């Protein structure tokens, strides 16, 4: 924006507006929900059509690792919420520490996910592999949905982690502080959404009865 | 110094290409959109003319069947995703929403610039299929499975382009919603907003809530093509009807992304050229929201012949009829606005009246298609092609060009040649109806769409239609040539308010300064179209 002297409106779009940025984040989260929503619809339809196959395939997944990951994400949601409270109280040091903890937990999640995925790929269950191509169609659909949905979720974890990294950097630069912490809140909102989606993915894939 | 800089128009503050393509000023971004949109529109028009030329006579005139399929697909992709979805919001919404709300920019200026860049990337991806890969997709713009999974043409790139363009559309919608909530000038409540803002508000919600579904659906098509997973192709265990559902869950609401902003533009032009308050302000404002809401639940009417339960078809048909109600409310209110107004016949009003006439034809033929029994006969005939061109081109397209004539003096600070604009309009209008009305008739006669050939008994209407396309193109060229004067800084200069309008953009300079206003805008006492208490505008 070219900054000129002269008449400037009181309600300028270039003023700082924390409410607006939070509203923007909420609206963005709606779109994220609907993005996954499309996949949830496909999941629902194919699970109804292939109930037995989905049940059988779900036994292939490691419930223990899935549970650990669920706990990891829930704790990370708590730590980022605490980081927001800390910055609100002006305690930047604690806020940064809690953000780094969240970042660490996101790495733990990704590492566990990596081992889960590589075990499946080792068994030839990734779409396009020979073993996968010979699976009955219900099971093939299950593993396709498993990979695309947890994959898209993992991508969101990575984006969230980068965002948290930015917040840590900005906090250290004092660009995020007690007076100005909308960025931390937005990162928190995003992280909670990523967490929330996992809360649905976990039972849908691991806990079918 | 202060006085000078405020008077300086947004064209003159900075110069050079980079000051445009990296500008975060909503007015410059709007013009970037305008120039790119018109370019792609002309590509789409050329493809349309080629199609019409092929259909001039039965048998092969110009191109092979496959080429014809690729042409109509690319025509659809360009016109839908590159022109009509972004058209009014991205150009006139971007330019005028902040000014009409009495602010100096949208809430997220950088996101706004990003949305244009994303749009350009998507557009280049769509057009790259012309040059790279195995040729442009030949599936139709709907990418119906299983053909889109099996065909050898470059569907993957076209689909990814649509995905990227959807992202651009989401960013614009998000920006507008927050802008409307946060940046209205003091005293402008929701019910004192101009109706264009209301229309954009409803549109933005659809953009936000419908677009992600098509995004993920198109990604699934890509996954199916690349990985061979049986999602939608029945021969490998998929469900093609599921694809159609997912596709239309977005693409039907998208029809309202295209139509609602046009309603908004019409609701601005009518009061200005009737010089009286709009009839039924609240009815028009809320009917936009009603259309947006009901529009979500009627996607099934695209699939009456695809295989759905009788109950589902019945419900979708009934809900489709329901949308006609808020739409009719608008039309009645518009017509009532003209009553006892002091009508000033200018080019924008002509486009407005043409809009109402053509949109009515489009709307009524829509009801014919929404009825179960008639749809069985008319599905996939030229009647459908005629119907949606009447709605999209005769409606939104005419509103777009009307808006261009209406806000032209504000954007460039100059006036085009009015006589020339009127002549161009008449040719354009005649050409349009010559081109599309025969399609309705030939569709009723049973001519199917999407073939490069037809039976000899359909020859006459097709001939008229093709001649119409040439008349339409003539009108279009005349109109654009007349308007190009502004771009080259020709034409007489105008003051702040050449049309005697009342919304806030007419209180500022033409063209506006970077900060949009050189003094605090005054809002009319009783709502945005209160011509009786119109604030006096000093030059």
Q: What is the 3-state secondary structure (H, E, C) of B396-415?
A: HHHHHHHHHHHHHHHHHCEC
Tokens linked to B220: 């699934």
Question: Is B107's CB within 8 Å of A24's CB?
Answer: yes
Structural domain count of chain B: 1
Q: For residue B2, what pLDDT is reported?
A: 41
Secondary structure (3-state) at B502: coil
ipTM summary value:
0.92
Say yes or no to pLDDT of B309 above 60.
Answer: yes
- Residue B323 pLDDT class (50, 70, 90 cuts): very high
Say yes or no to pLDDT of A8 above 80.
Answer: no
Of the listed ranges A30-39, B276-285, B528-537, the least confidently predicted one is B528-537
Say yes or no to pLDDT of B277 above 90.
Answer: yes
Residue B9 located in a structural domain: no
pLDDT, tens only, B131-157: 888 889 999 999 998 899 888 888 999
Query: 């860049």: which residue's tokens?
Result: B117
Average of per-residue pLDDT across B299-314: 93
- Residue B525 pLDDT class (50, 70, 90 cuts): confident
Give me the DSSP letters along B167-200. HHHHHHHHHHHHHHHH-PPTT--GGGS-HHHHHH
Q: For residue B5, what pLDDT is reported?
A: 57
Question: Is A6's CB within 8 Å of B25's CB?
Answer: no
Tokens linked to B456: 């000899």
Asked if B464 has any chain A CB less than 8 Å from its own CB, the reply is no
Percent of chain A with pLDDT over 90: 81
pLDDT, tens only, A18-72: 999 999 999 999 999 999 999 999 999 999 999 999 999 999 899 999 999 999 9
pLDDT, tens only, B152-185: 888 999 999 999 999 999 999 999 999 999 999 9
- Residue A2 pLDDT class (50, 70, 90 cuts): very low
What is the distance between the alpha carbons of residues B363 and B327, in angstroms, rounded to a whole number? 9
Average of per-residue pLDDT across B225-246: 87
Q: How many CB atoms lie within 10 A of CB A11?
A: 17
pLDDT, tens only, B416-435: 999 999 999 999 999 999 99
A9, A38, A46 member nearest B212 (Cβ): A38
Average of per-residue pLDDT across B480-498: 88
Domains of chain A: 33-206 (1.20.120.80)
Show which residues on chain A lie within 8 Å of chain B, measured between beta carbons: 1-2, 4-14, 17, 19-21, 23-24, 27-28, 30-32, 34-39, 41-42, 45-46, 49, 127-128, 133, 137-138, 140-141, 144, 148
Give me the DSSP letters along B423-435. HHHHHHHHHHHHH
Residue B248 located in a structural domain: yes
Residue B7 located in a structural domain: no
Average of per-residue pLDDT across B515-519: 90
pLDDT, tens only, B451-471: 999 999 999 999 999 999 999
Say yes or no to pLDDT of B230 above 90.
Answer: no
Say yes or no to pLDDT of B371 above 90.
Answer: yes
Tell me how many degrees the CA angle A10-A12-A17 measures, rounded to the nearest 5. 105
- Residue A5 pLDDT class (50, 70, 90 cuts): low
Residue B5 located in a structural domain: no
Q: What is the 3-state secondary structure (H, E, C) of B378-392?
A: HCCEHHHHHHHHHHH
Query: What are the backbone dihedrals phi and psi of residue B112, each rounded to the nearest 5 degrees, phi first?
Result: -60, -45
What is the distance between the alpha carbons of residues A35 and A197, in angstroms, rounded to a whole number? 11
Own/partner pairs, B498-501, CB within 8 angstroms, 24+ separation: B498/B409, B498/B415, B499/B272, B499/B273, B499/B344, B499/B346, B499/B348, B499/B406, B499/B409, B500/B272, B500/B275, B500/B344, B501/B268, B501/B272
Average of per-residue pLDDT across B296-305: 94
Say yes or no to pLDDT of A1 above 50.
Answer: no
Asked if B197 has any chain A CB less than 8 Å from its own CB, the reply is no
Q: Which residues of B touch A23 (CB under 8 A)?
A: 177-178, 181-182
B219 Cα to chain A: minimum distance (Å): 10
Residue B36 located in a structural domain: yes
Contact B125, B156 (CB under 8 A): no
Query: What are the backbone dihedrals phi and psi of residue B167, each rounded to the nearest 5 degrees, phi first?
Result: -65, -40
Of A130, A122, A125, nearest to A144 by C-alpha is: A125
Question: Is B182's CB within 8 Å of A128's CB?
Answer: no
Count Cβ atoms within 10 A of the Cβ of residue B59 and give its class: 0-12 exposed, 13-18 middle, 19 or more buried.
Answer: exposed
- Residue B489 pLDDT class (50, 70, 90 cuts): confident
Q: For residue B231, what pLDDT is reported?
A: 87
Q: Which residue range(s) make up the domain with B339?
A: 15-533
Q: Evaluate the CA torsion angle B300, B306, B312, B313 in order and state its sign.
A: positive
Residue B3 located in a structural domain: no
Residue B4 located in a structural domain: no
Q: For residue A117, what pLDDT is reported?
A: 94
Say yes or no to pLDDT of A10 above 90.
Answer: no
Tokens linked to B31: 């013009």
CATH of the domain at B414: 1.20.210.10
Own/partner pairs, A71-74, CB within 8 angstroms, 24+ separation: A72/A105, A72/A108, A72/A109, A72/A112, A73/A105, A73/A109, A73/A194, A73/A195, A73/A198, A73/A199, A74/A195
pLDDT, tens only, B394-424: 999 999 999 999 999 999 999 999 999 999 9
Residue B286 located in a structural domain: yes
Question: Is B520's CB within 8 Å of A9's CB?
Answer: yes
């Amino acid at each position: 924006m070219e900054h000129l002297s002269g008449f400037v409106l009181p309600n300028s779009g270039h003023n700082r507006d924390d409410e607006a940025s939070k509203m923007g984040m909420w609206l963005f989260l709606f779109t994220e929900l609907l993005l996954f929503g499309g996949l949830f619809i496909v999941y629902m339809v194919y699970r109804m059509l292939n109930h037995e196959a989905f049940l059988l395939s779900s036994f292939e997944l490691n419930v223990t690792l899935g549970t650990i990951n669920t706990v990891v994400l829930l704790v990370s949601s708590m730590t980022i919420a605490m980081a927001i409270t800390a910055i609100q109280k002006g305690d930047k040091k604690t806020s940064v520490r809690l953000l780094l903890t969240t970042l660490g937990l996101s790495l733990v999640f990704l590492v566990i996910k990596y081992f889960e995925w590589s075990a499946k790929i080792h068994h030839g269950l990734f779409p396009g592999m020979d073993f996968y191509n010979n699976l009955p169609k219900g099971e093939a659909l299950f593993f396709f949905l498993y990979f695309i949905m947890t994959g898209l979720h993992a991508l969101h974890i990575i984006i969230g982690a980068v965002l948290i990294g930015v917040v840590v950097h900005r906090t250290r630069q004092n660009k995020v502080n007690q007076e100005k912490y909308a960025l931390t809140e937005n990162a928190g909102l995003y992280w909670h959404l990523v967490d929330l989606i996992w809360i649905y993915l976990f039972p849908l894939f691991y806990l079918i009865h | 110094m202060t006085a000078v800089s405020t008077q300086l128009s947004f064209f003159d503050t900075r110069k050079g290409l980079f000051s445009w393509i990296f500008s975060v000023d909503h007015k410059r971004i709007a013009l970037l959109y305008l120039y790119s949109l018109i370019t792609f529109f002309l590509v789409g028009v050329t493809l349309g003319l080629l199609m019409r030329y092929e259909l001039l006579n039965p048998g092969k005139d110009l191109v092979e069947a496959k080429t014809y399929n690729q042409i109509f697909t690319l025509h659809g992709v360009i016109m839908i995703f590159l022109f009509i979805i972004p058209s009014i919001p991205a150009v006139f919404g971007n330019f005028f929403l902040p000014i009409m709300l009495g602010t100096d920019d949208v809430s997220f200026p950088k996101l706004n610039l990003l949305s244009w860049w994303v749009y350009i990337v998507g557009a280049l991806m769509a057009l790259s299929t012309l040059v790279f890969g195995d040729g442009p997709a030949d599936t139709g713009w709907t990418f119906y499975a299983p053909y889109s999974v099996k065909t050898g043409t470059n569907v993957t790139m076209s689909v990814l382009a649509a995905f990227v363009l959807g992202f651009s559309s989401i960013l614009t919608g998000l920006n507008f919603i927050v802008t409307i909530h946060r940046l209205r000038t003091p005293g402008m409540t929701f019910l004192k907003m101009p109706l264009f803002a209301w229309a954009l508000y409803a549109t933005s919600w659809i953009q936000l809530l419908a677009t992600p579904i098509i995004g993920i659906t198109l990604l699934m098509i890509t996954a199916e093509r690349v990985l061979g997973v049986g999602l939608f192709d029945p021969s490998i265990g998929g469900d093609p009807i599921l694809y159609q559902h997912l596709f239309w869950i977005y693409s039907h609401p998208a029809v309202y992304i295209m139509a609602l902003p046009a309603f908004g533009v019409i609701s601005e032009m009518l009061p200005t050229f009737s010089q009286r308050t709009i009839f039924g302000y609240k009815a028009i404002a809320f009917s936009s929201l009603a259309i947006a809401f009901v529009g979500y639940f009627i996607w099934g009417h695209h699939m009456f012949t695809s295989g759905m339960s009788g109950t589902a078809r019945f419900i979708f048909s009934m809900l489709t009829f329901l949308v006609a109600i808020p739409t009719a409310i608008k039309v009645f209110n518009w017509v009532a606005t003209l009553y006892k107004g002091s009508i000033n016949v200018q080019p924008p009003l002509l486009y407005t009246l043409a809009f109402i006439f053509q949109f009515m034809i489009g709307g009524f033929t829509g009801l014919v298609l929404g009825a179960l029994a008639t749809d069985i006969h008319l599905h996939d005939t030229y009647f459908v092609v005629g119907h949606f061109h009447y709605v999209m081109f005769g409606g939104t397209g005419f509103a777009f060009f009307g808006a261009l004539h209406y806000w032209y003096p504000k954007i460039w600070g100059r006036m085009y040649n009015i006589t020339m604009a009127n002549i161009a309009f008449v040719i354009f209008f005649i050409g349009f109806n010559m081109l599309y009305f025969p399609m309705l008739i030939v569709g009723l006669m049973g001519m199917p769409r999407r073939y490069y050939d037809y039976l000899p008994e359909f020859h006459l209407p097709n001939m008229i239609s093709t001649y119409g396309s040439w008349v339409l193109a003539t009108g279009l060229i005349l109109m654009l040539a007349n308007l190009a004067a502004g771009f080259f800084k020709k034409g007489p200069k105008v003051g702040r308010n050449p049309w005697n309008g009342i919304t806030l953009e007419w209180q500022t300079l033409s063209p506006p300064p970077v900060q949009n206003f050189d003094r605090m805008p005054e809002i009319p006492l009783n709502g945005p179209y209160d011509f009786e208490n119109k604030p006096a505008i000093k030059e």
